[in-house]
Every structure is written in structure tokens, then in C-alpha cells.
Chain A
């Protein structure tokens, strides 16, 4: 099973809302990632958690706040987003660094 599950699939939120994206994997992977993908562009790395600790933050604005409650779960908390933050948000996991990464189907976020 190489499944990474993301919820919700679609999300529309206002600029004053607070919402969370969720990601789950049961492959025993110790690295989990958040990526952002705009239309017709490749995914851009936002955050990496390794063994439940934040190891990479790609200078992401503080209105995006990641959380890794345990080795299977990854959340992305959203607050005071801008319309330009509308994108497909992808979660991925890998066994450890250097191994292949498996992606979820993404959450399509629209900020109005």
C-alpha cells in the first residue's frame, strides 16, 4: 500500500478564516512533506518533517503553520490567507531521506 490520504479534497475559505489540511500515511514512513503547486507549475516544497521534527521550512509565510502530531499524521493550519495562496496543496511521505516520495491527491484550496 503506497497511499497518502489528504482531506479535504476541496476547500474554499475567506481571508479571515482559519482552516486545517490533513494528511495521513500508514506506510511507516518517517519523513513527511507539504508542497504547494500552482497551475502548470511543478510542486514547490514548503515544509519537511523528519521523525516528527520540523527539519526544513522553505521560508514559508507564518500564515501557514505545519504540525506533525505523530509519525502517521501531518497537518497544515491556515490563517489569514491571501487569494494568491489559492493552489493545490500536496502532502508526500518517504521512508527516509533519499528514498522515493509518494504523494497524496492534494487539497485544492481557493481563497476568496
Chain B
């Protein structure tokens, strides 16, 4: 079993839809949770960063962490075609340099 599981998609939605992206994990020591967006042939861009449990909102993006269920989510409101990309969740333990990535979910937002 992988430490971090993420549905690879592709996930196809119409423009304006609310998108929900999720990851589950098995290591209860993970404390830091990140979401990255990666366009084709580019480096990952940090979207959201959360420490421990709770919600965080930034514009159209909301990140949720539920440590009791070992489940994290990224919601994108009013999705745009420019949101079409691969979304990677990543997490790490406290005082660890090692980021553990999910496999990434490909999102396609149709005009």
C-alpha cells in the first residue's frame, strides 16, 4: 500500500463547476500538507499549505485536512479552463525534509 493515495483521473468538469480533489494517507505522523498544481512540462506550483488539521481558504481554493480520517481535500470554486492541470498532494512529517507525493490527479475544465 502506498503512503499517499490519489485518484489519477482524468477528472473532466464544465467551466464554473466546483471541483473536489482528494488524497488519503496511512502515516499518522504527517503534519504538513500541501497542494501543488503542475501544468504540462512545468514545475509544480505551490497552491495551498496547511499545518495539522483544519481548513484554509485562498481565493477560489479551499484546502481541508481531516487527520482523524487521514484524508485531505482541495476544492476549487468557479473552475476555469486555465485550472486544467495535474494536481499533486504532498505531505511530510514534522522535522522531516522528505515530501511524500500522491500520484497526481489530471483535471480538465471544459469551456
Q: Nearest-CB distance from A9 to chain B (Å)?
A: 10
Decide: B97 and A55 in contact? CB cutoff 8 A. yes
Classify chain A: how many residues form its interface, as a range.
Answer: 20 to 34
The answer to whether B99 has its CB under 8 Å from any CB of chain A is yes
The answer to whether A2 has its CB under 8 Å from any CB of chain B is yes
> With the chains together, A55 CA to B96 CA distance in Å?
11
With contacts A41-B103, A42-B88, A100-B32 known, is A31 near B41, CB below 8 A? no
The answer to whether B73 has its CB under 8 Å from any CB of chain A is no
Decide: B98 and A56 in contact? CB cutoff 8 A. yes
Decide: A102 and B46 in contact? CB cutoff 8 A. yes
| Chain B residue total in the interface (Cβ 8 A) | 25
Chain A window 76-112, contacts with chain B (Cβ cutoff 8 Å), 1 for yes, 0 for no: 0000000000001010001001111111111010000
> With the chains together, A100 CA to B41 CA distance in Å?
22
Task: Enumerate chain B residues within 8 angstroms of A42, measured Cβ to Cβ.
Answer: 88, 101-104
List chain A positions with a Cβ less than 8 A from chain B: 2, 4, 6, 31, 33, 40-43, 45, 48, 50, 55-56, 88, 90, 94, 97-106, 108
